[in-house]
Amino acid sequence: MFSPGIKRSNFSSRKDRKLGQTVTVADSPTTPLGDNRNSAFDTSIPNRPSTGTPAPWAPRLSVLARIPQANKNEKRDERDPIKPVFVGEFPQAVHDEYGSFLQQHARGGAFISGGMDKHTCLSWIICGSKLFIWSFLSSTASKKCFVLELPSNILENGDIKRDSCHHARWLLTVINWDSPSRGTNKVAQHCNSAGIVMCNRTTRAILYWPDIYHDAGRTPVTSCASSDELSSNSSPIDGKITPDRQQQRSKHGSGSDGLISFNSLIASAIPNTRHACIALATSCRGELWQFHCSPTGVSRNKVYQDIKSSKSRGYPKSLIWRFPYSSLEEEPKRQLFILTDHEIQCFSIKLCADFTMSQLWSHAIVGTDGDLGIQKNLAGQKQIWPLHIQVDDHGKVITVLVATFCKDRISSSSYTQYSLLTMQYKSEAEVHERVLEKKAPIQVIIPKARVEDENFLFSMRLRVGGKPSGSAIILSGDGTATVSYYRNSTRLYQFDLPYDAGKVLDASVLPPTDDGEDGAWVVLTEKAGIWAIPEKAIVLGGVEPPERSLSRKGSSNERSGQEERRNLMFEGNFAPRRASSDALDAGDRQRAIVSGVPRQTVQDEESEALLSNFFHEFLLSGKVDGVIEKLKSSGAFERDGEVNIFVRTSRSVVDALAKHWTTTRGAEILAMAVLSTQLIDKQQKHESFLQFLALSKCHEELCSGPRHSLQIILEHGEKLAAMIQLRELQSMISQNRSTIAVSQSLSSDNQISGALWDFIQLVGERARRNTVLLMDRDNAEVFYSKVSELEQVFYCLEKQLEYIISIEQPLVVQIQRACELSNACVTIVRTAMHYKVKHHLWYPPPDGLTLWYCQPIVRNGLWSIASFILHLSKEASGFGTSSNSELYSHLEALAEVLLEASSGAITAKMERGEEHKGLLDEYCSRRETLLDSLYQQVKGFVEAGYKDINVGSEEQKEENLRKLSSNLLSIAKRHEGYQTMWDICCDLNDSVLLRDLMHESMGPRGGFSYFVFTQLHMKKQFSKLLRLGEEFHEELSIFLKHHRDLLWLHEIFLNQFSSASETLHDVALCQDDDPILTDEDEMDACHENPQPTFADRRWLLNLSKIAALAGIKDTDSEIKVKRIEADLKILKLQEKVIKVLPTDETKQSIEKQLLCPEELIELCLKSGDRELALQVFDVFAWTSSTFRGNHRNLLEMCWKNAADQDHWEQLYQASITEGWSDEETLQHLRHTLLFQASNRCYGPRAETIEDGFDKVLPLRQENPEVPDLTGTGTSIEAILMHHRDFAYAGKLMLTAVMLGSQQDDVKVEQESPSPTGVIDFDASDNL
């Protein structure tokens, strides 16, 4: 059906091959009618395009992909980038049965049927009376094929055994018993337990295998339809037999076989049951059947008699779950979609013994509104057939394959249009509103194709989800597979084989690996095994759909295949959303989401070809004359990093695939013994490449220019050396296993194979899936050839460790496998480090360059296995000493390489000036965890040995501890593991070792000495700290600078009394939020002393006063003493305020907190206490003039509050009524708060620190002529003028202020002169 127009160079030789088919008229499409299709026994497929899939014995793209670029350019004509890739043969059991089956038939084209299950990665084939099931992800050597016998009574039922086409009448679905939560391993996605449900389309017979992975579950449970059910099925849907139907039934030659009853089958496990499931099947009569399958039997029940349909001929076309990966652990409910002839119906079912099903919604996709789906009744339209439905893994996007029968009004010719309708759930669907909407306009696959009968149309199947993103594959009944891909316009790619390989039975996609996106398309063929379609093949090999096929000469808008490829090669970025794994083969392999495929420019290709020619000539002759000048002129040194041509050439050397590794049989032919030789050959060639760079002076140019490129080239050498050592390690492990008898606990295949071998298989599997061109290679072959991607070892170690070491395995097996993987990781990193030391003269300046084993992907992988060993160490505490000792040695080695990698990463970030705090925190956290665990294990070994011998002294115990901890102490010294160093010194009680370590471990922040001082300070061993500090003066100074509570003692010891006084003063007045420690000392913040009490502060202030008096006598010392005394008074006032305050949250919050002066003043004002209202002026007096100036508004509030403390109106009335004399006025006013405040602030005996109050707030207003109406007075007089009683008592208020500022004592002398002359003014004059 789908035969896109492609130029065929051998068309003339092909068109003469009739193969028994009727020649069509000139204007007919290429796809023949159903009547004219090949018979069941034809062994060849006609009209295969020349650009189809190559034969399995042809050279693989996997070989061509690894050839250096120069060789590729030389053989460009021999390489076809649109060829699919052979993945694997059928299992041998299938070959044997197929050969036997062919011999039993006179004609050689006996039909077989098969399929592929995406979720379990299982493929199946029915051949003869047997069902074969195997994983299409497994390599040929490890294929495990399940052979299930079909019961003879089922085959004989209805006499269908005699029909060689009976295999196509079976529907099969797989039930994955593995829990979705356990299926997190995307790379090693292998099913461990699965059931099979099979249903015969015609006889409705049900076969159920509970679990094919266990012998007990391979006996099928059968259920046959009753005679009443079959008789009702044998009659047509509408009860009529038309000539067309009679002819249709006569084609198959039998009665009941002429009508296919079931057309779709799905199944789901029932939660909380063992090997029980519910299967659902739809029939051509609109029925929905439910089958309850269990190991004890199969029950059948008709759920719906008639699913709604618009026409009598309409019936359910397809049935599918909405969420294929849904978990049933929380709620045993699932949703399913049913596609009918005009709508999509959504049902909810409850998976339990009491099966219930209810319809949620329905959406008409065929109607008069084109926005809701497909618009009908358009000009030329005759009939619309929705054929098949698919849904994405998230249950959000629905794709429907649609065929539309049309008639051209001009030529009156009929044709069929094929298209894809894509619907999606609305983001916010309201109640009673349609839940679906069009995601994109209808995508027309083929505008005009040949008219087919309904049987052929409804045999088509749709698959979605493969690469490129958004592509879909359509499978037709005649065995063709066409990939539809939309990029600005629809492109079609037809999978076809140019030789006799049979039909395409089914298609699926490789499961997702890391980024969550599905892999490449894979197809199951009838005779040629399994093939993969690379993303490049679809993008580069796709052609525009033909407007109308013209016989077998192609479409009217056909272009040649070479022109298609040439135009697409030089277009812009073609990858949808992200780069292809194939195109990124030369770049970063961290699966980053990118917008396009990075490719070389023409200049890069020319430069690389030139470099390859020069290198090839150097290998033959050793000459390098004029190389660097020609490379400079070609721009070879302009680009840095992975795209540099020197890097690409180096990578082609280390990643080269040896010719004799080329095989279609994988590990069956691959001789693992030659791997070491091949790797050594690569190493020698890479060394030659380095010599070429040196002799041609390209090395000097790379050192001074693109340093990163030279670094990568040398890292290729590191990885190659590491891969060689890893291969030797694996060989040694294999030899050891072959000579040691395996115990009973190591009887399973997974344990016998070894952790390292399983891990190599896992990493190789991931590389094969990411690079589809290598799908026909063995996992180990791919692993050892992908040298430049050695980081992926650590990536898989982080993500897939639970697959290699299962928690369900015995603890001794877990320990053995963990140690094996740990040894491999340490071997890789140490070999790379050794290579770098050996070739240090080759390396560029390291400033700012991050080594490959310092990258996060490597560090996280190392930490993953280290964390697992830490866990095993705790679990194995009750095991023997040998197991614990083995775990300890591997953990110690892991800690060393991991800390070295982290340290190198930090250094590179610091050199580049980048933020590194997060990386430093990670480094410190992992360091403390590892070193602490290691030291605890050392102490455990010492204690265990001491108890075992039960003799000896403490000296022997200490000697054992010193011996066992020597390596750990060395690691701790290199990585500033101060806590471990301190613990070792304390447990050994070795002060000499402590002092030696303090001298050796110097640092910008005091090094180990600072840490020792901190520990002594925490233990309050101050005298020991200071005595030890006599030997480390500079380190002690750094420490005491950030520990002022101890600094004053050291200063007194040095007779620095003035400095000690200042320190004590600061410590006494320290607040909770004072920045006592700098950012560099945040690690000591948790060791700070608790907040001092008021008694402590008073004691510290008195000590500060004593120290100040003991110091040098000068003016500064007197000022210091005054300040200390003022702070003592303020502290005493706060204690008094706390006693006055009522018990509440405010009091509790300040009981132990030292308030700042302004807070204390505000608290006094809020208290409403008369005495505290007066003492606020003392606080101002005890502070500085700067404080008074900065808080002038607060000082004005204090004066206003003082004026409010007395009843001036009553005083004024009493003075008028009683007629006070001047002496009586003075006696009454001296008891007012204004008088007392004025006396304390402005009186002859007023004491203040620095300048007086008059500098901030004078008594008199400077310009009495200008009234102050703002409320913020410039003097005491101006403040009082705004008082509410000033209008009639203003004279008394001003008199109180003036008298208080003049009185030498608050006690008035009898002979004191009348103050009348002093206050000779009328208050009313200033209003």
pLDDT higher than threshold 70 for residue 453:
yes
Beta strand ranges found along 499-588 (DSSP E): 504-509, 521-525, 530-533
Region of poorest pLDDT, from 234-248, 563-577, 835-849, 873-887: 563-577
3-state secondary structure labels for all residues of 13-67: HHCCCCCCCCCCCCCCCCCCCHHHCCCCCCCCCCCCCCCCCCCCCCCCHHHHCCC
pLDDT band at 929 (very low <50, low <70, confident <90, very high): very high
399-401-405 Cα angle (round to 5): 145
- pLDDT tens for 504-528 read 899 999 887 666 677 889 999 988 8
CA distance 905 to 897: 12
Region of poorest pLDDT, from 715-724, 1019-1028, 1095-1104, 1313-1322: 1313-1322
CA distance 1194 to 1183: 14
Mean pLDDT score of the chain? 76
Peptide bond preceding 468 in cis form (omega within 30 of 0): yes
Most confident of 396-400, 527-531, 1062-1066, 1127-1131: 396-400
Radius of gyration of the chain, Cα coordinates, nearest whole angstrom: 45
The region that residue 449 occupies, defined by phi over 0 for left and psi between -120 and 50 for alpha, beta otherwise, is: beta
Residue among 106, 51, 107, 101 nearest 79 (CA): 51
Question: Three-state SS for 397?
Answer: strand
Strands 366-367 and 374-375: parallel
The region that residue 1020 occupies, defined by phi over 0 for left and psi between -120 and 50 for alpha, beta otherwise, is: left
Looking at residue 306, what is its pLDDT?
62
- pLDDT tens for 229-240 read 776 655 444 444
Looking at residue 368, what is its pLDDT?
80
Q: Which tokens in the block code for residue 15? A: 């068109």
DSSP label of 1313:
P
pLDDT higher than threshold 50 for residue 6:
no
Q: Average the pLDDT over 709-732 and give the result.
A: 92
Looking at residue 37, what is its pLDDT?
38
Contact 777, 845 (CB under 8 A): no
CA distance 1003 to 321: 64
Question: Which residues, in sequence order, are bridge partners of residue 508?
Answer: 522
Looking at residue 508, what is its pLDDT?
92
Tokens 């759920």 sit at which residue?
Answer: 303
Residue among 959, 932, 815, 933 nearest 884 (CA): 815
Residue among 599, 540, 614 nearest 70 (CA): 614
H/E segment holding residue 1161: helix 1157-1167
Q: Average the pLDDT over 46-69 and give the result.
A: 39
Strands 443-449 and 436-438: unpaired
CA distance 939 to 960: 10
Q: Average the pLDDT over 101-123 and give the result.
A: 75
pLDDT higher than threshold 80 for residue 24:
no
Q: C-alpha dihedral over 225, 227, 233, 239, to 10 degrees?
A: -160
H/E segment holding residue 362: strand 356-364
Percent with pLDDT over 90 in the chain:
21
CA distance 328 to 330: 6
Contact 484, 472 (CB under 8 A): yes
pLDDT higher than threshold 90 for residue 608:
no
Q: Average the pLDDT over 467-490 and give the result.
A: 86
Q: Which tokens in the block code for residue 297? A: 């039997």
CA distance 546 to 645: 41
Residue 610: other Cβ atoms inside 10 A: 18
Question: Three-state SS for 276?
Answer: coil
Residue among 815, 818, 898 nearest 863 (CA): 898
pLDDT higher than threshold 90 for residue 34:
no
pLDDT higher than threshold 50 for residue 614:
yes
pLDDT band at 546 (very low <50, low <70, confident <90, very high): low
Helix residue ranges, H only, 965-1093: 966-974, 978-988, 991-1000, 1007-1018, 1022-1029, 1033-1041, 1044-1053, 1057-1068
Q: Which tokens in the block code for residue 399? A: 């794709």
CA distance 855 to 850: 7
- pLDDT tens for 167-218 read 467 899 999 887 654 444 555 556 788 999 999 888 889 999 999 988 877 8
Contact 932, 968 (CB under 8 A): no
Q: Average the pLDDT over 592-607 and give the result.
A: 57
H/E segment holding residue 857: helix 856-875
CA distance 839 to 717: 10
pLDDT higher than threshold 80 for residue 82:
no
- pLDDT tens for 1171-1185 read 888 888 888 888 888
Contact 371, 380 (CB under 8 A): no
Contact 51, 492 (CB under 8 A): no
- Bigger pLDDT: 1268 vs 256: 1268
Contact 772, 520 (CB under 8 A): yes
Looking at residue 822, what is its pLDDT?
94
pLDDT higher than threshold 50 for residue 595:
no
Percent with pLDDT over 70 in the chain:
74
